[in-house]
Amino acid sequence: MFDGMSARGWEDMNAKRGVVTLTLVTMLWGTTFPAIKVIMKLLDATSYAGYRSMIAALAMLPLIGKKAFENDRVLKGGIILGLLYFTGLALQAWGIKYTTASSAAFITSFNVPLVCLLEVLILRRRPSRELLISMMMAVLGVLLLSLEPGSYRLSYGDIIVLACTIFWALQVIFIDRYSRECSVIPLAFMQLMISGVVGIALSASLGEPVRLDFSSWILLAYLAVVCSSLTCVLQIYGQRYTTSTQAAIIYTLEPVFASAFSSILLGEILTARQYAGAMLIVVATYMASKT
């Protein structure tokens, strides 16, 4: 009986650790939108995704051990995740260039039901009723937080962000699959390296110039080291202890953090509707963490 209670205690502790870790990931993601807006005035989407990923991978090199890639699953998983990560990153940057951050946040929230569907189809897991309620609350919360009533019009950038959402959803699913089988840092490194190689190769083949000033290189380094190297490691680690749908619901906190940073740094004021949306997302995340 004691052993059973002890095992249950460890399981609960790991679940909380996963939720806290993924919440930190979304907080860091929430800082990326302004930086991406600046970078995308100077770079094309493939160069941006490629150089961001390559810098992130190189930053992780000191952490890679000699036996890091003896597991074939690391190589296979890294290739799959790297291709998904590059495509999602490039499409996100391309889409943000032609739409607003609020519209991008709203469309990205459709990642939640999409992940839920893919989890059933690919991983053969059915979400609980409580998790489905959390999912609907999270999407509604993002709607209230991101969009003004009657203001939404589908744009060219929105369609690109919608395509990006499909690849992010697939990435969440495949991280779920490989995070439990592979060492975290080698898998994160391989994902970023593959993304970097693909992006830089495509950029070179298209003859796209790279013209960044010093401050833009600093922004790109921040996006690479903090918002790619660190978040990829934390995402893989955190998803070991959550389901894909739970993780997707937690990721809807990203626009909440983005709004909070905008309020603190830029003096933007949230309306009562936006506060209600943020609270719905927080409650949905709490409910999802308890299922």
Q: ∠ CA 228-249-178 to the nearest 5 degrees? A: 55
pLDDT per position as a tens digit, 184-201? 999 999 999 999 999 999
Burial label, 208 (beta-carbon count in 10 A; 0-12, 13-18, 19+): middle
Phi and psi angles of residue 275, each rounded to the nearest 5 degrees, phi first: -60, -40
Rounded Cα distance, 255 and 273, in Å: 14
- Average pLDDT for the chain: 85
Which residue type is seen at 134? S
The pTM for the full model equals 0.86
Residue 229: pLDDT band (50, 70, 90) is very high
- Three-state secondary-structure class, residue 107: helix
Residue 1: pLDDT band (50, 70, 90) is very low
Q: Is 272 left (phi over 0), alpha (psi -120 to 50) or beta?
A: alpha
- Three-state secondary-structure class, residue 210: coil
Could you tell me the end-to-end alpha-carbon distance of the chain, in angstroms, rounded to an integer? 23
CA-wise closest residue to 183 among 25, 16, 71, 57: 71
